[in-house]
Amino acid sequence: MRVPVKLLGFGFWLLSLNFAQCKEITCELKSTTIGVKKINPDGKIIFRARESVEITCSEKHWIFFTKESRKTFTCKADGKWDNEPVCAEITCDDPRDQLVSRPYYWRTMKLGEKQSYTCVNGYRGTEAEATCTRDGWTPKPLCTEILCDVPKIKNAEIVGRQRPNYRINSKEEYRCLSGFKPEKPVQITCDSQGQWKDIQQCIEITCELKSTTIGVKKINPDGKIIFRARESVEITCSEKHWIFFTKESRKTFTCKADGKWDNEPVCAEITCDDPRDQLVSRPYYWRTMKFGEKQSYTCVNGYRGTEAEATCTRDGWTPKPLCTEILCDVPKIKNAEIVGRQRPNYRINSKEEYRCLSGFKPEKPVQITCDSQGQWKDIQQCIEIMCDLPKITNAEIMRSQESNYKISSKVEYKCRSGFEPEKPVQITCDSQGQWRGIKQCTEIMCDLPKILNAEILGSQKSNFKINSTTKYKCRSGIDAEKPIQITCDSQGQWTGIQQCTEKCGPPPEISNADTKEMTKEEYNTEEKVEYKCFDKYTMNLSPPFSNYLTCVKGEWKGDIYCFKPCIVTVEEMDKRGIRLRWKANEKMIIPHNDRIEFACQGTKKYKAQNLPRPTCKDGVMLLPECEE
C-alpha cells in the first residue's frame, strides 16, 4: 500500500514541531561585578548543565553564606546553581558566644569597623574596642576573667594546697595560728570584683581576771590578771563567800579558746534568791536574803506549803520542797476505756488518753490533762454515732423516712425527672456518721456549642435545656453558608452539627528550614508545600517526619525537623589534646551523621574507651580526649 506524498510531508512537519519545543537547560551568572575579583572562565555568564565556574572574591568580600574567598559552582540539571554564586560583603554580627554585657544591641558591622563594649560581671574587656575582621570580632577573647590573688591574712595559714590565683566563686579555707581566734577554719570566697569576702581577722585569745579582792582569800598564781587561752587560775574564797553561781569555796578556772572563762571567777556573798523553781505563789519577788534569814510564803494553786516559813541556808531555801503537788484521781468516763497502762494517780499537767467504745464518737483517742485544781480538763463525752435524714437537692428518699439512722444503715433515693443520675442511688451510713456514696442530682443540659469557624445566631446562653434548639452559620468564604439548626438531646449532646471547613493561609516558618518554592497567600485542602533545610543542616525523613506540610481543613499538618550540624573549634581540640588527622587544624562544621577522624597531639594518648572517629548527632559530637 502506498502512502500519499502529502500525508508523509504532514508527519515530518509534526515531528519537527515537537523538536522545536525542547529548550536547553542553562544557568545564568548574574552577579559578576559586586565584590568579585576574578571569574574563571572570564566573560562567560551562561553555563550549560554540569558546567562550572570559579569565582574569587575581593579582599573585603567572601562567598555568600560561607567564609571562603574562592569557590567553584556547578550548574545543576534543573537549571539552578548548586550554591549561590554571589560575593557578599564581610560583616560581623553580635558576638553571642562571648561574655559581652549586651551583645544583642550591636548592629551588623563591616570589615574594619569598631565597637566599644563592656563585659558581664566578673570579666573585663581585653581592649577598649572590638574590631570586625575576616575571622570575626577581635581581640579574642573579648573578655578575660577577673581573678583573686593569694589571700594574705595576718596570724593565719592556708588550709591545704595553695594556688597562685583563684577564679571568681572559688573558695579557700584558712586557720588562725594557735592562740588566735576563731579556732575553726574560715571559708572565704573570691567575689566578682576579684576580692576575698567573709574574711575574719585572727585575734589573740586572752581572758581578764577582774575581781581579785572582794571575798577572795587566795589566788594562784598571785598577781597575774591576763591569761592566754588554756591557761588556768585557782581562787579560794573567804568564810562567808563562795564561788559565784556555785556552792564551792575553792575552784580552778580555765581561759577557753573563745576568750571566755569556763566559769565566772568571782567570790560572792552566800545569799538566797527567790525560789522560782519551787512553785511559790507569794511573795512574788523575794528580796535577796543572807544566811539564816527567814521568809513566810504561800504556794501556787494546786500546791501546798510544807512549812509556814522558809529559811536561807548554804544549800538554799529549806524545807525541801517548799510546796507539794496536788494529784488527779483515775479518770472515769462513761462508754470509754483508758488507752495504755493506767496509773493510780496523776501529777498536774500529766496527760492521759481514752478511747470511746465501738459505735461511739469521737472515734480517735482523746487526750485530757490534769489541771492545777486536780481536775481533768478537755473531756469529751462518748456519744453514739448516727446519721441524720439525708437531704439531697432535686431528689426524693424512697420507702420509710426516719429521723436518724444507725451505722451501716442503707437508704435509696431517686433524682427527679430531667436530672441525672436517672437510676436509684443507694447510700450507706458510715462509721463517721456520714452518708457514703451520695451522687448529686444535676439537671441534664447542653453547654454552649463550640463549632470551629462558625458563629452562633441569636442569643448565646451558657447552657441549654433538653430539646432546646439553636442555629449557627459558617463564616464567610467557608462551606455550608446557610444557617444550620441543632438540638440538645436527652443526653446533653448537640445533634445535627455539620463542620465548617476553610482554606489555609501561608505555610508556617520552620526552624532551620525554608520552603523550596515561592509561597501563596491561600491554599486548598490537600495542597502540600515542600521545605528544604539550611546549608549544613540535614532533613529528618524518618516517620512521622517528612519534608512537606499538608493543608487539612484550614490547618497545616505534618512534622518537619532539621538536624543541626556540629561545630568543632581549634580551641576545643587544644583543650582535649587532639588534632585533625588528615588536615591542618581549623574550625570544622560537620553535618548530622557525618564522621571526622582525630589524632592525639604530640606524644599524648587516648583516654580509655575514647573513639577517634566520633559521629555528629543533631549538633552534638562526643569528642575524644588525649592525655600524657
**Of 250, 269, 288, which residue sits at a domain end?**
269
In a domain, 292, yes or no: yes
In a domain, 330, yes or no: no
Measured CA to CA, the distance from residue 613 to residue 617 in angstroms comes to 13
State which amino acid sits at residue 414. K
Using pLDDT thresholds of 50, 70 and 90, give the confidence band for residue 13. Answer: very low
CB 538: neighbour CB atoms within 10 A? 18
Domain carrying residue 247 = 206-269
In a domain, 14, yes or no: no
Measured CA to CA, the distance from residue 431 to residue 258 in angstroms comes to 63
In a domain, 429, yes or no: yes
Measured CA to CA, the distance from residue 1 to residue 3 in angstroms comes to 7
Which CATH number fits the domain that encloses residue 76?
Answer: 2.10.70.10
Let me know whether 193 and 162 are in one domain.
Answer: yes
Residue 2 has pLDDT above 70, yes or no: no
Let me know whether 80 and 32 are in one domain.
Answer: yes
In a domain, 107, yes or no: yes
List the beta strands (DSSP E) in 430-502: 435-436, 442-443, 445-447, 454-457, 463-465, 469-474, 484-488, 494-495
Nearest to 272 by CA among 237, 305, 313, 307: 313
* pLDDT in the model for residue 223: 87
Let me know whether 463 and 411 are in one domain.
Answer: no
Greatest distance between any 2 Cα atoms in the chain: 163
Let me know whether 250 and 287 are in one domain.
Answer: no
Number of structural domains found in the chain: 10
* pLDDT in the model for residue 21: 60
In a domain, 535, yes or no: yes
Which CATH number fits the domain that encloses residue 110?
Answer: 2.10.70
Residue 9 has pLDDT above 80, yes or no: no
In a domain, 18, yes or no: no
Measured CA to CA, the distance from residue 560 to residue 127 in angstroms comes to 44
Residue 265 exposure: Cα atoms within 13 Å on the Cβ side = 27
Q: For 403-442, write each residue's pLDDT tens digit.
A: 888 888 899 999 988 888 888 999 999 888 889 999 999 8
* pLDDT in the model for residue 20: 47
Let me know whether 217 and 259 are in one domain.
Answer: yes
Q: For 438-472, write each residue's pLDDT tens digit.
A: 999 988 888 888 877 788 887 778 888 888 888 88
In a domain, 5, yes or no: no
Please give the full DSSP string across 276-331, using - where no structure is assigned.
Answer: GGGTEEESSSPPPEETT-EEE-EEPTTEEESSSEEEEETTEEESSSSEEE--B---
What pTM does this model have? 0.29
- Taking phi first (over 0 means left), then psi (-120 to 50 degrees means alpha), and beta for anything else, what does residue 61 get? beta
State which amino acid sits at residue 473. K
Measured CA to CA, the distance from residue 395 to residue 398 in angstroms comes to 10
List the beta strands (DSSP E) in 211-269: 216-220, 226-228, 232-237, 241-243, 250-254, 267-269
Let me know whether 192 and 213 are in one domain.
Answer: no
- Please state, in angstroms and as integers, the Cα–Cα distance from residue 396 to each residue in 57, 288, 358, following that order: 92, 79, 32
Report whether 163 contacts 115 (CB < 8 A): no
Q: For 332-368, write each residue's pLDDT tens digit.
A: 999 999 998 888 899 888 999 999 998 888 889 999 9
Q: Which residues pair with 414 in a beta bridge?
A: 396
Let me know whether 85 and 104 are in one domain.
Answer: no
Let me know whether 585 and 611 are in one domain.
Answer: yes
Let me know whether 238 and 200 are in one domain.
Answer: no
